[in-house]
Each structure stands twice: as C-alpha cells, then as structure tokens.
Structure 1
Amino acid sequence: MSETPVAGSDVPRGVIAIGASAGGVEALKQVAAGLSPDLPYAVLVTLHMASASPSVLAQIIDRSGPLPATQAVDGEHLRPGHVYVATPDRHLLVRDHRVVVSRGPTEDGHRPAINPLLRSAAIAFGPRAIGVLLSGVLDDGVLGLAAIRARGGVTVVQDPDDALFPDMPRNAIAAQLVDHEVSAGAAGRLFEKLAERPDEEFTMTSDSAMELENRIAMGPRYSDTFDAETLGPPSGFTCPDCNGSLMAVGSTNYRCRVGHAWTPEALIRARDKETENALWIALRSLEEKAKLSRRHEGSVSPGALQRRYAQIARETEHAVEVLRARLSELVDDPGGHGNEPTE
C-alpha cells in the first residue's frame, strides 16, 4: 500500500471505489448529491456501459453534487474531493496515487468492469480503501469487495430495497462481504464518517494471485506477459470471448490464457447468450425451410412429391413453434451494455 499522506496535503487520504450496473445512473446521482464538499478521499466510479458510445456520465455526476467529476485520464494524480469516472471500453484503475486507464482484458464480459477497479484500490490503498456496490444484476464487484476486505478496507453496498436492480448488492451480502448497507441518498454521510476513522494498524500479507490479476487488468488487451497456468488448473470450460481454455482461479472463478475473467454467474449468462444466438439462427433457417416447402407444395402436381413437401412443411412449422416458445422464455440481460443515458 502507498504511504498515507500527511494531513493538509493535496493527496487523498484514501479512495472510494464505486461500481454500478443496471439502474446505476440514478443511484450515482443520489450518491453524488450527498457527498461532502470537504471529502478528503478521491472517488472513482465504474459503470457498465456500451463500448462504442460516448459517455456523459461524468457530466451527469458533476451536475448532481458538490464535487467536480471528470472522465478519468491515464496518469493524472488523484486529488481529494474529486470524482474520476471510467470511460467506455477502458478499465479504471489506480496505482501510486495516479489514475490508470487500461484496455486490459474484459472481466465478466465488461470493460470497464467493477472487479478490476476495486481490486486495484485494495492493493494501492489497503485499509484506506472503501469499496462500494450499487444497483446492478449478476455479481460483478463481489470479488472486488473480497479484495477490499482482505486488505483491511471497508465494504459498502446499496440497500437492496433501495436499488432498482438489487442483485449485485444481494450477492455481496450473501457472500458475507459487507460492512455497511445504506441507501444511495445516505451514502455520502456514511463516507464522511468512514473518512474520519483513525488509522489502524493492519498487517497486509502478499497475495500473489490478487497482484497478478491486477497486473493483467493494467496490461494490454491481449496479454502474453503472464503464465495462465499459474492462476490455477484447467477448468475444462472455454472462454466465451475468445474460445480459449479457462483456468480455475480459486474454487469457483475463471480466467483464460489472454486474461478474460469470468465469475460463474457471468459465465452462465454468457452461455445463455450463446444459446439464444444459436436458437435465432436455427429459427431463421427453419422458417425459410418451411416457407420453401410450402412454396413447392403449391407448385407441383398432386401426388407423392406434393405430400412430401407438405409433411416437411408441417414438421418444420412445428419445430418453429417449439423454438419460438423457448426463445420467449429467455430474458434479456438488463445489466449488460447500454445502461447509461445518452443525454
């Protein structure tokens, strides 16, 4: 951990690392409105967002509260009382009291992702890191809160009853990783109290796996600078992003040879998407087959050939009905891309 700066310097005493997904914009506006103008911590914000669209999240947060908010710039010094916001298609990280903006491998299909931000805050600030999860689905951020906890920091989640999408807070609570539950509107007051905590002695042991994953997130998009097998044994599964082998990291999580990382929930959801895409392709092919069979049924003379075309059409139309019913059961992921407003 970097040495805690002396009081009165223009260096933050710590960081508040906030992650959000679906429903996160409204929660972030409420959090920003409650922040103290004298907050001695820097604030870093990651929201799942579309990679190809410009982001206006920094402007939204800037208008919502007393602290200035800007898009993160690689290499800039952290300042207390300032909000740094992740940019599309870039992880937001922190190292040596500086911002790191990285095109490291996606985690849970996202870049920016929440786990890398929280993990880097844990390594850089240890007990002076506050990790926060707001509204969202699935479980991005749970591993990051575990890293904050392991390095002596404080973990906070939005009260699930206050969140538009409570899955992320609930998953963290279920994992027994949460020190505080708070409404988005009351989070600022909690941060002010936590920032006033006296420094406590905390002995941090080296965690080579956490440090390696942090280096991967800070590295290039397709990294070949690490030995994937040091992360864990082969899992027998493949990466949805690159079809490479996934290594088992710990007891339940996965990372491939070029660095893509997955939790079980995210990996299952990715398989659902693959299945859905395959079903749409099959449905299109079957509809064309049925249409073609009906066309030729009506273009030939009555007899065996016509009966054959009619049978093919009936069987294919039945298959279309089955596939349509299955597709109607699949629910689109509200926590994926496109959670951020465009104006």
Structure 2
Amino acid sequence: MSQAHRDLIVVGASAGGVEALRALVAGLPADLPAAVAVVLHMPLGGASALPAILHRSGALPAVFARSGMPLTHGRIHVAPPDHHLLVVEDRFALSHGPTENGHRPAVDALFRSAAIALGPRVTGVILSGVLDDGAAGVVAIRARSGRVAVQDPADALHPGMPENALRHVRPDHVLPAADLGPALAKLVREQVAPSSAPPASPQVEQENRIVRDWRVTMGAGTIGEASEYTCPDCSGVLNEVEPGTLRFRCQVGHAWSVEALAQAQGDAFEKALWTALRTLEEKVRLSERMVESARTRGDGRQVNRYQGRLDESVRAVDVLRDFLLSTGEPVPVEETGATSGDPAG
C-alpha cells in the first residue's frame, strides 16, 4: 500500500478572516512540506490584495492560484475574486460555477473538491466568519479520513464559522489562530495511506461536479427532494441535498446552508420593507401636491379627499420607519486591505 503524507492544507475564512489568516501563516515554517490553499469570502466583483498581505505576514510566498497550477509545497495559493478554487488530482482548477451561500469563491467548494481528490492527505482549517460556511466542507474532509483544525471561537473576531464547524465534527485541534501554524506544521508530516480512505458520498461527488462544470448544473435538480423554499439568487425551487442536513441546492446549482438561507431571506424581507417605505414616502409627496393643487382650485371636496389619503400615508410611513429602525442590527466591520471592499460575512 503506497504511503503519502498530509501535504495539502485548505483554509476557509470570512468576516474577521484577514487578521486570523495573518496570524496563522506567521506560524508556518519556510520548509513546510505541504501546499496551502486559501479561500476568503469576498464581495463579487471586488479586487483582492490578500496574496500580498499573506506574503508579508510569514515565511511562505503567496500567489493567486491559476487553473492547472500544481499543488506546490511551501506556497500559499489564494482563490482569486469571483472564482471557485478547486482541487483536481494534484492541481488546482478555477471555476465560475454557481455561488454557494452567495459566495464565489466558496469555502465548501474548495474543501469538498480537496476531500474528493486527495482524501486523507487533506487538512481543513476553519477561521473567523459568521454563519455556517465551511461546516459541510469539514464534514466531507473528515469522511475521507482527513484532519480538521478550527480557530478557537474565543479567539475569532466572528465565531460563527468556528462554532458551527465544532457542532459538525470533532477536530484534531481547536487553537488560537497564532497557534494553528505550528500545529499544522506537525500534522502535515503524518504518513497516510490514500487508498484506504472511504469513498466520497454520491451527493458530495455530484455537488463537486456541479461547481466544477457548469454544463452539469441542470443535474442539480436531481439532488435530494424538493423543499418548500425558493432560491434567493434565482427564485428556483430548492432541493434538500440529503434528508435532515438542512443544506439546499436549486435547479441551476446555487447552494445554501440553513443559516445562509435564513439570512438571505431576512435580507430580502428587509429590502422589501425599505422599498415599501420609499414608495410610501413618494405617495406622501404626491398627495401633498394633490392637496395643494385642489386647495388652489378652491375644490374643498377634493382637498378633504386628498388630505385623508395624505394623513393615511404619513401614518403608514411613521409606523414602517419606526419598525425598521427598531429592528436594525449593527453591521460587522471588517478589516480593510484584503479587498477593494470588505470580506463578505
């Protein structure tokens, strides 16, 4: 049975992730016998300076990954904006496939492809971020006998991603970001037998094909069973990937975890309310003009009619504005410098 070692580290981060990534790579040695691949969630269309930031933060060079680039030991490979970073055999591939939890690149896409390609040779690392991105990815890695390390939630600027990873798998390490580097440097030297790893599940294989090749996205509708929910990205029917997993894909391949789906629905609801507020305010201004016009004409009947409409609209505006202001939550402030905007949540 051929032997190998754990020579690929895949890292996922989101909000608060730049600080955590800098701390992690500062602890990685220059002679690391493994390749490192990084996905940081970022706004679609944004530029990224992440390779330069990580290059200055530690002993390893950092570059944007390109399709066909080999998994080079002692190098950090960063997912470029608006492209999923995938692993195919012993090389990287880029994909413009469907978004996952509204993100491209997506943490789960990288983790899932790495687990399929290299099995126990993979170590997955979850850093700071909100919601549950990466949880499905570490499950896929663990199912193929890979290792998992998680930033201590108490050390994370946003503990959501680490906490959710801990709910789904028992990691090999839970450490502050600054301590993860030395721990990973030891893990990657472990010997493994890739051929002894359990195969990836059919669902994981199919999800990987959907992200890798847009031509098979129409097959996304064959995953799981239809749910009562619709996709926030395209309004298509969402299928639950596997019963009880609370993970969904639509007919064209957009993927959603339950927390990301709930947030997207909440965002859509709030957007609808703000749109309604704008419409009501326009109705108030129009009604004011109608009242003034009727008063100028001396049409008392119309003045009373339009004034009633104006009063009703003003009351509705006040109620809706008070509701929106009372339920608003502060928006997390991200680090600057990683992108032209902020990392996405």
User: TM-score under structure 1 normalisation?
Assistant: 0.91
One-letter identity of the residue aligned with 1:259: G
Instruction: Verify: 1:240 aligned to 2:238, yes or no.
Output: no
User: Out of 32, 35, 40, which is 1:42 matched to?
Assistant: 35
Q: Tell me the equivalent position of 2:168.
A: 175
Cα distance change on mapping 1:333 and 1:265 into 2, 3 Å? farther
Structure with a larger share of its residues in helix: 2
Q: Tell me the equivalent position of 2:338.
A: 340
Q: Tell me the equivalent position of 2:290.
A: 296
Match runs of 1:148-227 below 5 Å? 148-199=141-192, 202-220=196-214, 223-224=215-216, 227=219
User: Out of 120, 123, 126, which is 1:127 matched to?
Assistant: 120
Give 1:337 shift: 12
Taking the aligned partners of 2:179 and 2:108, their CA distance within structure 1 comes to 24
3-state SS of paired residue (1:298): helix
> Is contact 2:8–2:188 with CA below 8 Å preserved after alignment?
no
User: Out of 71, 94, 99, which is 1:78 matched to?
Assistant: 71
Q: Tell me the equivalent position of 2:329.
A: 331
Cα distance change on mapping 1:304 and 1:125 into 2, 3 Å? same
Deviates more, 1:193-202 or 1:253-262: 193-202
**Which consecutive unaligned segments of at least 5 residues does structure 2 have?**
none
Give 1:270 shift: 0.9
Q: Tell me the equivalent position of 2:312.
A: 315
Taking the aligned partners of 2:312 and 2:54, their CA distance within structure 1 comes to 56
Q: Tell me the equivalent position of 1:8.
A: none
Cα distance change on mapping 1:57 and 1:147 into 2, 3 Å? same
One-letter identity of the residue aligned with 1:55: S
Cα distance change on mapping 1:160 and 1:312 into 2, 3 Å? same
Give 1:269 shift: 0.9
Q: Tell me the equivalent position of 1:9.
A: none
Superposed CA deviations along residues 10-63 of structure 1, whole A, max 9, x for unmatched, are: xx8521100000111111111111111111110000001122122111111111
Give 1:154 shift: 1.0
Instruction: Verify: 1:286 aligned to 2:283, yes or no.
Output: no
Taking the aligned partners of 1:342 and 1:140, their CA distance within structure 2 comes to 22
Aligned length: 333
3-state SS of paired residue (1:130): strand
Deviates more, 1:92-101 or 1:311-320: 311-320
One-letter identity of the residue aligned with 1:174: R
3-state SS of paired residue (2:273): helix
Q: Tell me the equivalent position of 1:65.
A: 58
Give 1:338 shift: 8.8
User: Out of 93, 102, 117, which is 1:100 matched to?
Assistant: 93
User: TM-score under structure 2 normalisation?
Assistant: 0.90
Give 1:307 shift: 2.2
Taking the aligned partners of 1:150 and 1:325, their CA distance within structure 2 comes to 49
One-letter identity of the residue aligned with 2:324: L
Give 1:342 shift: 3.6
> Is contact 1:130–1:155 with CA below 8 Å preserved after alignment?
yes
**Which consecutive unaligned segments of at least 5 residues does structure 1 have?**
6-11
> Is contact 1:18–1:133 with CA below 8 Å preserved after alignment?
yes
One-letter identity of the residue aligned with 2:187: L
One-letter identity of the residue aligned with 2:318: E
Taking the aligned partners of 2:268 and 2:336, their CA distance within structure 1 comes to 19
Taking the aligned partners of 1:48 and 1:340, their CA distance within structure 2 comes to 10
Q: Tell me the equivalent position of 2:261.
A: 267
